[in-house]
Amino acid sequence: MTSTYAVLSEGLEKRFGEVHALRGLDLAIAEGTVCGLLGPNGAGKTTAVRVLTTLLRPDAGSARIAGHDLVREPDAVRRAIGVTGQFASVDGDLTGRENLRLFAKLRRAPKAHARADDLLDRFELTEAAGRLASTYSGGMRRRLDLAASLITRPAVLFLDEPTTGLDPASRNQIWQAVRDLAADGTTVLLTTQYLEEADQLADDIALLDEGRVAHSGSPATLKALIGSYAEVVVAHADAMPQAAVVLDQLTGGEPHFDHERHAVGSVTTDPTLTLPRLVRELDAAGVPLLDASLRPPSLDDVFLRLTDSPTDRKDLVA
């Protein structure tokens, strides 16, 4: 590669008629890392993946994938990448072993049979290798699909919603496989709607909104942007205003009221605020406290706070 970035794009644009799907997409993904590409429906995630994997030609901008120019060297890009789409691409009428050997031959992989057997072993599919893929569970088919994308040991692997519909055990198997790939030096670009998945796997996150990167950074960096959430539950409704005053003094954030639970909450970006201090201040103010909590934000909180999360756009493009 010619740089420390496995994926580097600048100003990528893509239109579909009047719909402006990508509006200057800038990405810089370091080699051997996992980047989570997140965003609400219509943010441009799938369009970005299709452009970066040469399935769509950008209208403007530039990109280099594994050191190769996206537009001028598409064949070199394809040889350097692996792609696992939202839906398994394996053939149900072939066995697991036959599927991998077929992919190996199509990719002209050296020692195709040995490579297929190695991947079957790596993804714990050896015992089922002689069965038709149509008899596999959802998790097994997904692992077989992921194995197929690794036939040629890609420098960059694109994973589009890799664990959709899987049970927790199967999801954990895919997560471990992704961690192992990154540890071996493969760069992974992951799109997902499971924010816990991005939190578990991603070294960095690019949060897309309206076709461009609105925010980027590590999960911890993005969480720090919105602060922690302090909440107190009081004995009766009459105590809620005083609890709100204390929270305002400590957090400086606008209080949120849950009258059914007699709860008051507020966001704080003050890293020095602790739960013991919160409880002491409430006690000193005479607030009849039943419960108190101070929790760091989740990626769900980040997602909802940093994007508009529209559900009624008329020009949605994935």
Concatenating the DSSP letter of every residue in 286-312 gives T--EEEEEEEPPPHHHHHHHHS---S-
pLDDT at 310: 44
pLDDT at 85: 80
The token pair at 240 is 């809620």
pLDDT at 86: 74
Confidence grade of residue 316 (pLDDT, cut at 50, 70, 90) = very low
Contacts of 70 (CB under 8 A, 6+ apart): 9, 51, 52, 54, 58, 62, 63, 64, 77
pLDDT at 215: 93
Confidence grade of residue 313 (pLDDT, cut at 50, 70, 90) = very low
* Residue 317 pLDDT exceeds 60: no
In angstroms, the CA 21 to CA 12 distance is: 10
In angstroms, the CA 187 to CA 185 distance is: 6
pLDDT at 94: 95
* Residue 13 pLDDT exceeds 50: yes
196 or 58, which is more confident? 58
pLDDT > 70: what percent of the chain?
A: 95
Query: Count of alpha carbons within 13 Å of 83, Cβ hemisphere only?
Result: 16
* Residue 139 pLDDT exceeds 90: no
* Residue 88 near residue 49, CB atoms below 8 Å: no
* Residue 108 near residue 79, CB atoms below 8 Å: no
pLDDT > 90: what percent of the chain?
A: 64
Residues constituting the chain: 318
Q: Tell me the pairing of strands 228-234 and 263-268.
A: antiparallel
Specify the range with the lowest mean pLDDT, choosing from 142-146, 239-243, 273-277, 307-311.
Answer: 307-311
Q: Mean pLDDT over residues 299-307, rounded?
A: 83
What's the mean pLDDT when you consider all of the chain?
Answer: 90
* Residue 161 pLDDT exceeds 70: yes
pLDDT at 269: 83
89 or 283, which is more confident? 283
pLDDT at 308: 56
Q: Mean pLDDT over residues 170-193, rounded?
A: 91
pLDDT at 170: 85
pLDDT at 223: 87
Q: Mean pLDDT over residues 29-35, rounded?
A: 96
Among candidates 6, 10, 35, which has minimal Cα distance to 205? 35
